[in-house]
């Protein structure tokens, strides 16, 4: 495995292998066969706002329809919206999302959901990958072909799903005055649906970066670039700023003082509140190996078990199911509230956080003080596709070991290859910012010179 699928589907530069029309066609056929063998009759396809989305959608639709399976086109919709449709439309056996998440517009990707709105298992992913890569597929085509039909009101169906959540009812019930929001839609899939969910009946909301043109998705905006949002929150004296990524499955927030609050602290806030309200049936929270040491310390102090999964929301979900956890996520902004949805959902995460604010009547800066964040620096080193074992290089290994010894129990080093890009990610965590930056730069320099 791993020739096509990374930690979150297939991703790359649009119109270059593997994000080509040919691969998309075969992917559509593979998903069509998977759906047919599962006993269902339709596949739902959604996309974000990238220019290349239409090209890939056309190929995917043709591939699915050639297997006799019908296609329902959901149009521009967040990734968790497609997961929702997979779980709630009777005939749908799989969902495909055309998106490269937080990547620049030149990139694109293909994510696949199975019935119920969950990502594919490793085995299912491998079977689909093998079909796509095989040169002797024995695909028997006949005169029966599927239809390709736009799905009416796809955004309204998804918006209604979110607006019917208990979190929204709690916000209505507890807010003495409307919370003031500024929302950065990243010129992506949230641009049209965010005003439907965070509407004027519930909040006082202003939107920025919500006019996509096919090329401006994630362009100095959204969850990866919150500078504009922080300025606007302070200017408007808003209670909170919400930043989504291109496909709106991530959430990063800005507090009323202009400070950035990432996934770990959102998890800590929501877990603490759930525990205090006796809503955390099983006192377990799942995050990833990238999570800040401060999250572990906070959860320990609250009597909540902290389990760390491999990177990727799919791995987090696997651990959540195994440990019967209801809250999990990544510091990057993927949060999963398993009692509410089958996958990470940026807008749902925002509603869950807003519920805590409305029920406690506390500011976000006050709520976020539950967690002490250790300085953490993440740097990327460009690498080739061969992904050599860097720990076999003595100079690199000795550099890492030396820094780990200096940090001791007050920090850590974590180095891993990106699952979506040709990068080696170097993360160093410790008690002081300048120290952490220097250590991280030292490791990166050693890798560049010796790998």
Provide the terminal-to-terminal Cα distance of the chain, rounded to the nearest Å: 24
User: In 38-153, where does DSSP find H-type helix?
Assistant: 53-65, 79-88, 122-133
Using alpha carbons only, give the angle 66, 46, 82 rounded to the nearest 5 degrees: 110
Cα distances (angstroms) measured from residue 210 to each of 107, 235, 249: 20, 18, 16
Residues 82-121 as b or e (16 or more Cβ within 10 Å = b): bbbbbbebeebbbbbbbbbbbbebebbbbbbbbbebbbbe
Q: Residues with catalytic annotation?
A: 101
- Pairing between β-strand 180-184 and β-strand 148-150 as defined by DSSP bridges: unpaired
**Contact call for residues 45 and 151 (beta carbons, < 8 A):** no
Number of residues in the chain: 451
Cα distances (angstroms) measured from residue 244 to each of 102, 190, 238, 346: 9, 7, 17, 6
Distance CA 223, CA 235 (A): 19
Sequence-separated (6 or more) residues with CB below 8 Å from residue 100: 11, 48, 50, 107, 108, 109, 246
Cα distances (angstroms) measured from residue 129 to each of 70, 134, 189: 21, 8, 27
**Contact call for residues 85 and 94 (beta carbons, < 8 A):** no
- Starting at the edge strand found earlier in the chain, the sheet holding 305-309 runs 305-309, 284-288, 327-329, 335-337
The tokens of 116 are what?
A: 């119920």
User: In 72-189, where does DSSP find H-type helix?
Assistant: 79-88, 122-133, 154-163, 166-174
């Amino acid at each position: 495995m791993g020739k096509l699928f990374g930690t979150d589907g297939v991703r790359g530069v649009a119109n270059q292998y593997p994000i080509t029309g040919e691969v998309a066609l075969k992917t559509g056929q593979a998903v069509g066969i998977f759906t047919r063998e599962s006993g269902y009759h339709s596949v739902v396809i959604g996309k974000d706002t990238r220019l290349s989305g239409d090209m890939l959608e056309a190929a995917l639709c043709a591939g699915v329809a050639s297997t006799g399976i019908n296609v329902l086109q959901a149009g521009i919709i967040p990734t968790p919206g497609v997961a929702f449709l997979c779980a709630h439309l009777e005939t749908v056996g799989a969902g495909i999302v055309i998106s490269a998440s937080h990547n620049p517009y030149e990139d694109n990707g293909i994510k696949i959901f199975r019935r119920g709105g969950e990502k594919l298992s490793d085995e299912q992913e491998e079977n689909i990958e093998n079909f796509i890569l095989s040169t002797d597929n024995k695909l028997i085509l006949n005169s029966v072909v599927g239809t390709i039909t736009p799905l009416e009101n796809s955004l309204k169906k998804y918006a209604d799903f979110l607006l019917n959540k208990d979190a929204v009812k709690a916000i209505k019930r507890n807010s003495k005055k409307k919370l003031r929001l500024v929302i950065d839609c990243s010129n992506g899939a949230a641009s049209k649906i965010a005003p439907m969910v965070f509407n004027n009946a519930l909040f006082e909301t202003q939107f920025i970066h919500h006019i996509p043109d096919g090329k401006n998705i994630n362009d100095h905006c959204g969850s990866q670039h919150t500078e504009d949002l922080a300025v606007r929150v302070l200017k408007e004296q808003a209670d909170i700023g919400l930043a989504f990524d291109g496909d709106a499955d991530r959430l990063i927030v800005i507090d009323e003082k202009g400070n950035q609050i990432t996934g770990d602290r959102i998890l800590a806030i929501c877990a603490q509140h759930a525990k205090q309200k006796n809503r955390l049936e099983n006192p377990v929270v799942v995050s990833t190996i990238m999570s800040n040491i401060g999250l572990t310390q906070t959860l320990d102090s609250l009597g909540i078990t902290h389990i760390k999964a491999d990177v990727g929301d799919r791995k987090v979900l696997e651990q959540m199911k195994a440990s019967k956890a209801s809250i999990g996520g990544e510091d990057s902004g993927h949060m999963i509230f398993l009692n509410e949805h089958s996958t990470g959902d940026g807008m749902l995460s925002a509603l869950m956080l807003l519920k805590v604010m409305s029920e406690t009547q506390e500011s976000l800066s006050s709520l976020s003080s539950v967690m002490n964040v250790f300085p953490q620096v993440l740097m990327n080193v460009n690498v080739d596709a061969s992904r050599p074992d860097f720990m076999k290089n003595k100079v690199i290994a000795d550099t890492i070991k030396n820094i780990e010894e200096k940090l001791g129990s007050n920090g850590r080093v974590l180095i891993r290859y990106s699952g979506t890009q040709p990068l080696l990610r170097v993360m160093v965590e410790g008690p002081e910012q300048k120290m952490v930056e220097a250590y991280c730069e030292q490791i990166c320099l050693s890798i560049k010179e010796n790998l």
